[in-house]
Amino acid sequence: MAVVRKQHGHFLDDFRPGQLFRHKCGKTVTEGLFAVFTDFSMTTNPLSKNARYARAYGFRGIVVPPGLVMAVVFSQSVEDVSENARANLEYIDMRFGVPVYLGDTLEAETTVLGVKASTRDPSLGVVHVQTTGRNQDGEVVLTFQRKVQVWKRDPQATVADGEVPPREIPTSLGLPGYDRGRPYRELAHLSSPDTYFEDFRPGDVLEHSRGRVVTTDHILLTGMLDNTSQVHCNQWMIDQQPERYVGGQLIVFGGIPFNLCLGISSADVADNALADLRYATGRHTAPVFAGDTVFASTEIRAARDLPGRPDLGVLDTVLRGHKFGPKGTSAEKVDIFYLERELVVKRRSHYA
C-alpha cells in the first residue's frame, strides 16, 4: 500500500502568462452564509436587510452586499492562485455586474496576466491575475485583477516571466429603473436621512465611530467561503517556520477586514446606495490578526452624475481601515486597508 501525500495549489514556477483556470465547485449563496457575513460586517443598507424594501425598489429580492460577492468570488480562486501565497498585494479595476440574490450560484475563472520572479528573494515572486465571477445564468457579477506574492516550489526553479494584456470583460449593474409609481418615499424612514447623494461634499472625511474586533472566528468565516489558503487556518504549518510568515501567526483573510471596512462605513456612506460600481485600486497595508479591532474612515473625493439616471449620482471615495497597536506605554494608529471606491447613491430629490 502506498502513502501518497497530495499537494494542492500552485507555486510561482507553475504559472504561465495567458494560463486559464476554471475554478472548482462554485458557491451557492445560502441564507446561512448571507446572514453570517451581513450581520458580522455590520452592513446597514436595507437592500441587504429587508426583502420588502428591496422588492419595492424593483430588485428580485434581498440583495447580497458587494463585500460578500467579492469574498465568494475571490475565495474560489484561492486554491489555484494563492493557496501558496505569502501575501495579497493589490486589487485592480474591481467592477461589479448584475445584482446577486439569495440562492444565486457563483462560479469563477482566472486568467494569468503576468509572472515575475523577485530580484531580492529567490524564493518568491509576483503573479498578476484577472478573475471573473458569473451567476447561474452566465451573467458577470464581478471582475477584477489582483497581484499576489507567491512562493516558489524550488528557489532555483526557472520562472516563466512575462505579461499578457487583460481580457475585455463588459459589466452592467442591471439596476432597476426609476418608477414614479413605486412607494419610495413611504420607505425612506428605513435608511439614514443624511446619506443621500446631496448630503456629501468633496473634501469631507467621515470618521466612522463603530469598530469591530476580529476573533479566532475568522478561521470559521474563511472556511465558510471555501478559502483554502493555509496562512489563515494552519497554525501547525506556521509554527514550523514562523520566520517565513508575516507576524509568525495566522493572518486574517483580507476579505474579512475588507468586508468590515465596507460594513462599518455603511451607516454613514452607503445605506442609501443602490450598488457599488467600481473599486479602482485597493490594498492591505498591514496584516490583521485575531484580537485586532478594525475601524474605518471615508474620504469623499468627488460627486458626479450617473449617465442616463437623473435619480442617482456617483460618489468617488477613499475607504481606509485602521487598527491600534502598542507603542511603548501608549497606542499608535496602524493603517490596514486602502480602497478607492465608487458608489451609486440615490438622490433625495427622487426618493425621500
> According to the model, what pLDDT value does residue 327 have?
81
Quote the CA–CA distance of 344 and 346 in Å, as a whole number: 7
How wide is the angle at C-alpha 29 spanned by C-alphas 293 and 97, nearest 5°?
A: 90
> According to the model, what pLDDT value does residue 9 have?
85
Quote the CA–CA distance of 96 and 343 in Å, as a whole number: 11
CA atoms within 13 A on the CB side of 242: 6
- Taking only the tens of pLDDT, the chain with its 352 residues reads 888 777 778 999 999 999 999 999 999 999 999 999 999 999 999 999 999 999 999 999 999 999 999 999 999 999 999 988 888 899 999 999 999 999 999 999 999 999 999 888 888 999 999 999 999 999 999 999 999 999 999 888 888 899 999 999 999 999 999 999 999 999 999 999 999 999 999 999 999 999 999 999 999 999 999 999 988 999 999 999 898 888 889 999 999 999 999 999 999 999 999 999 999 999 999 999 999 999 999 999 999 999 999 999 999 999 999 999 888 888 899 999 999 999 999 999 999 9
> According to the model, what pLDDT value does residue 95 have?
98
Q: Which helix (H) or strand (E) holds 313?
A: strand 309-327
> According to the model, what pLDDT value does residue 350 have?
97
> Following CA atoms 266, 269, 270, 272 in sequence, which dihedral angle do they give, to the nearest 10 degrees?
130
Quote the CA–CA distance of 303 and 305 in Å, as a whole number: 7
- By the 8 A CB rule, do 62 and 51 touch? yes
pTM (predicted TM-score): 0.94
Q: Which residues neighbour 322 within 8 Å (Cβ) at sequence distance 6 or greater?
A: 294, 295, 296, 297, 333, 334, 335, 336, 337
Q: Which residues neighbour 194 within 8 Å (Cβ) at sequence distance 6 or greater?
A: none
> According to the model, what pLDDT value does residue 299 have?
98
> According to the model, what pLDDT value does residue 218 have?
95
> According to the model, what pLDDT value does residue 119 have?
86
> According to the model, what pLDDT value does residue 188 have?
96
The DSSP code sequence of 112-123 is EEEEEE-SS-TT
> According to the model, what pLDDT value does residue 263 have?
97
